[in-house]
Structures are given as structure tokens and as C-alpha cells.
Amino acid sequence: MAKIIDGKAFAAEIKEEIRAEIERDNLSVGLAVIIVGDDPAGKIYVKNKKNDCVECGVQSFEYALPGYISQEELLELIEELNEDARVNGILVQQPLPEHINVTTVNETISAFKDVDAFRADAAGRVMFGDYDFMPCTPEGIMEMLRKEGISVEGKECVVVGRSDIVGKPLAMMLLNANATITVCHSKTLNLSGVTRRADLLFSAVGKAGFITADMVKDGAVVVDVGINRDCEGKLCGDVKFGEVAEKASYITPVPGGVGPMTRAILMKNTLTAKKLQS
């Protein structure tokens, strides 16, 4: 039976370290979070991020905008926040309405306040392993593995999913850590044959129960990045947890795995932004 990797506990450690540093150095740190529209999942994420700010001693600036707001109005708000000295980090919650260009929004955020690391220059720096702001979910995964004492060096790692937010940057970060990487996607042939080779298997496809036991190598480390709802409306990941846990050596739960680590890294990036701006 796999050992469960407790991302919630590791995230609490990181947030306590952030709070201690802010209090020790008497820092004023601020994070602005913008949400556009009424996406229920987005509202939950924003609420959780606000709670994280409270735990870390970070001031939270929340902007809830109607879904019909124009792109120009949204960009004007971002430009104002770029100039606001109280705000050290800016996060625009996704998804955004179809009439708003996500790339334009990301590129409007100041490079010094891009705590999600979504700008093109931030993505390019991940390629070289030289960056100020860490992509939150991939770095949360890497930090969780480090804290659990799991090395990726020399290991065969398979990433299922090639999104710009998780799959691609995670692959680069694993490569920078000397892992051997395969990235799978919807066009991959013989997917289960590829995933069964993995010493470490990462799933970020957003499909409940997508990874089954027959797709997993005995003793593999399985990291579930998915956030889904099952047929009963219960929160779950991409991995069929019960059956895969019987084969894996380590496994992350949903909830309580990658999600809390993602938000902890966001807090860490916001503190980094404050120090860079100072």
C-alpha cells in the first residue's frame, strides 16, 4: 500500500516559514487577486488564497469583477495595480470569459509582480532553470517531492498533460533536476504502455479516474494534479486512488496533495516579489 504524501502538512510548514520571515523583518506584503465572472471553482480558489494570506500575514486585495467587463477595463485595473506600491503580486484567476484574451492579460502584469509566472519571459526562464518566480503548481510538486525525500535524478518521469500552466513547465523543471522525461497528451499512442514505464507518474489532464491501476508500474510514485468532481459530486483527482494506491509506493491525495502546495508556493513567490521590489 502506497504512502500518502501529505501536501497539506508540507504547505503548512512553508506558510509558517513565510509568516516568521514577514514578522521577523517587519515586512508589509500584499497580493492582489482578480476574479472575473461567477465561476464556482474560481470563487473557492480565491477564498482559499485569501485564507492563505491571513495565515502568512500577507495583505489581501480582492477584486471581484462582473463577467461582462471589457478587456480594456480589466487591463486598466491591472495597470493601476502595477503602480500600487502596496501590491507586490498580482494574480488573475482563470478561466476568464471568452471575450478576454488570456495572453494579453498575463503580459500586462508587471514582470516584477507576475507571481503566477505566466508571462512568456517567465516561461522562458524556466527553460534555463534561472527564474525569480516559480510556476506555482510545478514547483509545489517539486518541493513536495524534496520534502518527502524522493529524488527524480536519473529516474524515468512521465507527465500526462501538456498544458502551459502545469505539464510543460513541470517537464522542464524535472529535466533541470536530471530526470528523463516523457510528456504524453491526447495524441499519444499506447498511452498505458508509456505510463507503465514511469518511476514517477504525474497526471494533469482534468479527467476523473483517468489513471487506472493497469497504467501504473509496481512501486511507482504517483502525483495527481487533477481537480475534478465524480458522478456523486465529490472532489477527486485524475487517479483512481483506491486501486492505484495498492500498486504505488507513494501517492498524492485529492484533496490535500498538490493543491495546498500550489497555494503555498504562490505565497512564497509573493514574498520573493516583495524582496525583489525592495
Whether 37 and 93 share a structural domain? yes
Whether 170 and 244 share a structural domain? yes
**SS3 labels along 30-93:** EEEEEEECCCHHHHHHHHHHHHHHHHHCCEEEEEEECCCCCHHHHHHHHHHHHHCCCCCEEEEC
Tell me, yes or no, if 6 is annotated catalytic. no
Whether 152 and 245 share a structural domain? yes
State the pLDDT at residue 18. 98
Q: Residue 233 above 90 pLDDT?
A: no
| 68 part of a folded domain | yes
| 269 part of a folded domain | no
| 6 part of a folded domain | no
Whether 148 and 248 share a structural domain? yes
| 161 part of a folded domain | yes
State the Cα–Cα distance between residues 224 and 203, nearest whole angstrom. Answer: 5
| 80 part of a folded domain | yes
| 199 part of a folded domain | yes
Which candidate in 15, 49, 155, 240 is catalytic? 49
CATH of the domain at 147: 3.40.50.720
Predicted confidence (pLDDT) per residue in 140-194, tens digit: 999 999 999 999 999 999 999 999 999 999 999 999 999 999 999 999 999 999 9
| 229 part of a folded domain | yes
Which candidate in 116, 199, 224, 238 is catalytic? 116
Domain that holds residue 64: 26-110
Which candidate in 93, 217, 247, 268 is catalytic? 93
Tell me, yes or no, if 116 is annotated catalytic. yes
State the Cα–Cα distance between residues 80 and 86, nearest whole angstrom. Answer: 11
Q: Is the dihedral of CA 6, 270, 81, 54 positive or negative?
A: positive
State the pLDDT at residue 129. 86
State the total domains in the chain.
2
Whether 91 and 161 share a structural domain? no
The total of other beta-carbon atoms located within 10 Å of residue 196's CB is 16
Tell me, yes or no, if 93 is annotated catalytic. yes
CATH of the domain at 92: 3.40.50.10860
Predicted confidence (pLDDT) per residue in 24-35, tens digit: 999 999 999 999
Helix (H, G, I), strand (E, B) or coil at 9: helix
The answer to whether 123 and 117 have CB atoms below 8 angstroms apart is yes
State the Cα–Cα distance between residues 163 and 213, nearest whole angstrom. Answer: 24
